[in-house]
A and B are shown apart, each in its own frame.
Chain A
């Protein structure tokens, strides 16, 4: 590694984007894989301390996630179960992928978007509102309208944080955290008793969206949460993410501002505009995630969903682990989608390991992954040691 790069990384406080770009060159995929393995080892030790067998536990979680469907030797009844589980995993992967893109895109412009959760919630609110109105409408148009509204709402919600960052310099971490909680309470109000979107039933939840607005299911049962075309929407977004960042002027500006806002300003780019656009696009991804969830398998949203949903937070782990790269985010979202499904009460065999413990184990593993990936200097130091013999310290 060259001296300026070293200075950039360890001397002054580097931006997140420059750290990550540096790591990309230094560690490639080795770092994230190693990090994940380490987190799973620590998780395994926790399992061991509880008195269970870590190997059979991880095996049970793997089977619970339905990923064993990929093995040709799983047949008959097992295969049918595995297919059902894998559909669940991929549904979660879809939302995590889209929210991960939301966090990742903002990251690439140097902004830490903790607001994925709020943008996702705003998306669910708008899609359930549109989806449960206009009962006698045309299907595809209705879906398009709901998706567009949710996407725009997510973009606007994140755009607030982007604009505050761009024009008054308010730190995006603070503003997005605040916007998350505002979304949670506004959502609780809307779906709660006498709220504007409270349904006809007695539960504090919205009406179900009309059957016209359901996304078509292409694998599994439409009534038992089969996999809907939202999965492909997410994959298309992944492509859009990659194309935008790597093949457009906007993407170039986003990455440039992420590396060094001062230099970008000097080069004639509008840093303020880039911040607003980057946040708005990020919010659009998260808002879309909300729409895909509601129209694909949730169908209605309640106060409980609003207050307990964690998708936008887990998406931070997805983006951090995926190093904000399209491919990385895909695999990271698959990993966390599988972990969440594999440890759910329905899918994990309690005689092997209690699902209640396993769900918290998932949280611990997520925490460790973020912690280890964040410690890039440690990885770098090891990398530098491995690449060349120890040098005399600089004067």
Chain B
């Protein structure tokens, strides 16, 4: 807390000398090293990336020498990586670059990151209250199927979202009962929930739609057109016409952060996840909070799933539609250190890597496939403690028994 206070109370000079500030500056430089070589800037000389990369590396070194070792070395590596990628980009043809790095890359990053944001925030709520939720995948899958079913039968995407949330919450309730009251192992329970969701959605998909596709013309979640922005140069294609769920995911991140870290409700949730006995002693109903959080988690994850089917999926469902996105969301939550904005940043990074993977075939089809593994590799590196250390809530995954 002391360093936290120092960063905000100290003078500008003190703040600039703070190793963490130096580290963040270094990261910015490293990103710039890469960006200068890419459209819209498209610097064609290898000098530009080097010009930005060297300061990044120096700042990283300075950060490391001032105590923030992990961050420092991370920034140093990021700087060198920025130089490498930037120089690589200057050797690539401009037409290829323009094909891959367009403003719509930003839009498609949001397309891929939105389900992850919902999933990761869902996981954050559950785990902050002390219940491990590796059933996110299953809850998203429930949302994907029941969302499209609701939108089809209810003739409205709003009904679809409500049905999706109810289905996700129901599945989460099963997980909650076994994890909280029956004190079953939460990872075993989450695995079971994933199997159940796969079976239930597959079963009803065949039973209700005879294994055919959902009829066309299902009501889908609309895009939000921002009139003033649509025709502008860069922001138009990037932000002018995003799906409603994308904007909702932004709002969700801010609201979740406010709730978790700025309200007494959030304090209670976190108390249950860190030290349930203490929370119980001061009169918080640990079971109640955990039930609420897990059920909320199911509903939020289901929203992410519904976005897949009636959002950018255009009102279609296929068996096992989520295809591991729930696990990437879990990874994003861990990568983001169980914090809403951290999870959001990780989801954006993973979404960006997926969006990039879909465009990389311009260079090499096989490399694009390999690129899909990047989020998982990054998470593996993150949990290995190479870049900072991830710390789960202290009582995460531990059943609590009232006395």
Contact = CB atoms under 8 A, between A and B. Distances in A.
Q: Do A and B come from one complex?
A: yes
A361 B331 CA distance: 29
Interface string B302-323: 0000000000000000000000
A261 B328 CA distance: 30
Contacts of B211: 356
Q: Is the interface of A mostly helix, strand, loop or mixed?
A: helix
B399 interface: yes
A364 B370 contact: no
B267 to A, nearest CB: 23
Contact of A357 (B188, B203, B327, B398): B203
A224 interface: no
B203 A361 contact: yes
Contacts, number: 154
A154 interface: no
A67 interface: no
Interface in A306-326: 313, 316-317, 320
Contact of A10 (B183, B187, B334): B183
Interface in A353-395: 354, 356-357, 359-371, 373-378
Contact of B202 (A186, A316, A363): A363
B206 A179 contact: no
Contacts of A81: none
Contact of A366 (B134, B195, B399): B195
Contacts of A327: none
B401 A10 contact: yes
B207 A177 contact: no
Nearest to B395: A13
Interface residues of A, number: 57
Q: Is the interface of B mostly helix, strand, loop or mixed?
A: helix
Contacts of A59: none
A310 to B, nearest CB: 9
Contacts of A175: 380, 383-384
Given A174-B383, A178-B376, A364 B366 contact: no
The 9 nearest A-B residue pairs measured at CB = A363-B199, A367-B195, A367-B196, A364-B199, A360-B202, A370-B192, A185-B373, A374-B188, A371-B192
30 contacts: A10-B401, A13-B399, A114-B191, A164-B380, A168-B384, A171-B392, A174-B330, A175-B383, A177-B134, A178-B377, A179-B376, A182-B373, A182-B377, A184-B324, A185-B376, A189-B370, A192-B365, A192-B366, A316-B191, A320-B188, A356-B211, A360-B202, A363-B195, A364-B196, A366-B199, A367-B192, A367-B196, A368-B192, A368-B196, A373-B188
Interface of B: 134, 174, 178, 182-185, 187-189, 191-200, 202-203, 206-207, 211, 324, 327-328, 330-331, 334, 364-366, 369-370, 372-373, 376-377, 379-380, 383-385, 392, 397-399, 401
Interface of A: 10-11, 13, 16, 19, 46, 50, 112, 114, 164, 168-171, 173-175, 177-179, 181-182, 184-186, 188-189, 192-195, 313, 316-317, 320, 354, 356-357, 359-371, 373-378
